[in-house]
Structure formats: structure tokens, C-alpha cells
Amino acid sequence: MDDSRASHGLIQWHGTTIIGVKKSGRTVIAGDGQVSMGNTVMKPNARKVRRIGALDESGKGKVIAGFAGATADAFTLFERLERKLEQHRGQLMRAAVELAKDWRTDKYLRNLEALMIVADAETLLILTGNGDVLEPEGGIAAIGSGGNYALAAAKALSDYEDDPEKIARRAMQVAAEVCVFTNDRVTLEEI
């Protein structure tokens, strides 16, 4: 784990890039597939973005989530968030706040090394182990080692592109070209 902190106080994880873009009534979360251990690519096609929560009419989860950080820790957080969504009848904001409270105060959860971007049809959020539930300004959020590259690219594209999928895919391409811990095998989910 790299424990250096960006100026905004979030831990920056090596080995991934996740971006969320909310625009024109649509929300997408995209993530690369690279899993690195030191200088070695262990797996090039991991799925770091997935659907969770109650199913919609098409049989897909109503919430999309992407993670940066330790895989086992992220799966633990996905499971916890799904339980919170069940407890709070699919209300993402309330479930996210409750998860963040637990994540910050629970002795076991406090040690989990991951960040998450989560979204439903109305909300896009970044969740951190510091207890933060952040709703990004401008509808663009990015985490991970290539997050700042993807964020900058998406913000630049957002002024003249209305399609959030195109913005996310191009931002991921930029991150993959610049960040050695990010590849071009993108998983994307849309709400």
C-alpha cells in the first residue's frame, strides 16, 4: 500500500483506475483490468466494476460500484454495501453513509485498504475509509493510481461531449497511456 496522501486527503492506490461520469441523465463507472504486484502485472483482465443491490426490471443490480485497492477488502465492502442497501430499501445515499460510519469506526473494517465509487440513477459518490461520502462536483469522480489522469481528461472532455460513456472510455484511455499501473482493458457499467 502506498500511504502517501493527495492534497484532498484521499489515499492513492497503485494498480488501478476507476472513473465515474454522470451526465445527460446517464451515469457510467469504468475501470481498467490490471492487477499489479510490485513491478509485475499479475492479471490483465480483472473486473473492478460491477452491479450490486436489488435487481432492476432487466435483472441487473440497481447500483454500480468500482473499487481501487486490495481485492479481498473491496469484496468485503461490496458485500457490506449490499447489506446496507437491503436494510435501507435501495437508498444509496443512506446506505453509503451507514457503510462509511461502520468503515470508520469498526475495528475490523478500519483496516480495509480500498476506495470505492458507487452510483445509482440519481447519485454518484466516492466512499473512503476515513468516513467520507463525497458527491463530486460536476458529476465526475476518479480514484486509483491513474485517477488524476482520468479525472483531468474527463473534465476537459466534458465541456464538448455529452455522452458519459465516451467521456469515461477516452479518460480511461488517457490514464492507460500515462499510468504504468493502468491498462486498456476497460470494464464499464451504466445506470
Looking at 16, 27, 128, 182, which residue is catalytic? 16
SS3 state of residue 148:
helix
Stretch (H or E) spanning 179: none
Task: For residue 76, indicate whether it is catalytic.
Answer: no
Q: Are 99 and 80 in contact (CB under 8 A)?
A: yes
3-state helix, strand, coil in the chain (%, to 5): 35, 30, 35
Read off the C-alpha cell for 171.
479518460
List active site positions: 16
